[in-house]
Amino acid sequence: MSEPTPIDEVADAEPLAPFARWFRLAMQSEPLAETTMLATAAADGRPSLRAVLLKGADARGFVFYTNLDSRKGEELAANPQAALCLHWKSLGRQVRIEGVAEPVSAAEADAYFASRPRDSRLGAWASDQSRPLADRSELERRFAAVAARYAGDAAVPRPANWSGFRVAPERVEFWQERPHRLHDRVLFVREGARWRKQRLFP
Per-residue pLDDT of the chain (202 residues; tens, 9 = 90+): 344 445 667 888 999 999 999 999 999 999 999 999 999 998 888 999 999 999 999 999 999 999 999 999 999 999 999 999 999 999 999 999 999 999 999 999 999 999 999 999 999 999 999 999 999 999 999 999 999 999 988 899 999 999 999 999 999 999 999 999 999 999 999 999 999 999 999 9
Name the residues annotated as catalytic: 181
Has residue 145 been placed in a domain?
A: yes
For strand 81-88 and strand 35-41, is the pairing parallel, antiparallel, or unpaired?
antiparallel
Instruction: Compute the distance between CA of residue 75 and CA of residue 81 in angstroms, rounded to an integer.
Output: 9
Give domain status of residue 1, yes or no: no
Range of the domain at 89: 6-200
pTM to 2 decimal places: 0.91
Question: How many domains does one find in the chain?
Answer: 1
With respect to residue 174, please indicate whether it lies within any of the assigned structural domains.
yes
Residue 171 lies in a domain: yes
CATH of the domain at 163: 2.30.110.10
In-domain check, residue 122: yes
In eight-state DSSP terms, residue 32 is T
In a domain, 23, yes or no: yes
Give the containing element (helix H, strand E) for 82. strand 81-88
Beta-sheet strands, E only, within 18-80:
35-41, 47-53, 56-58, 61-67
CA distance 78 to 73: 9
Residue 39 within a domain: yes
Q: Which amino acid is at 43?
A: A
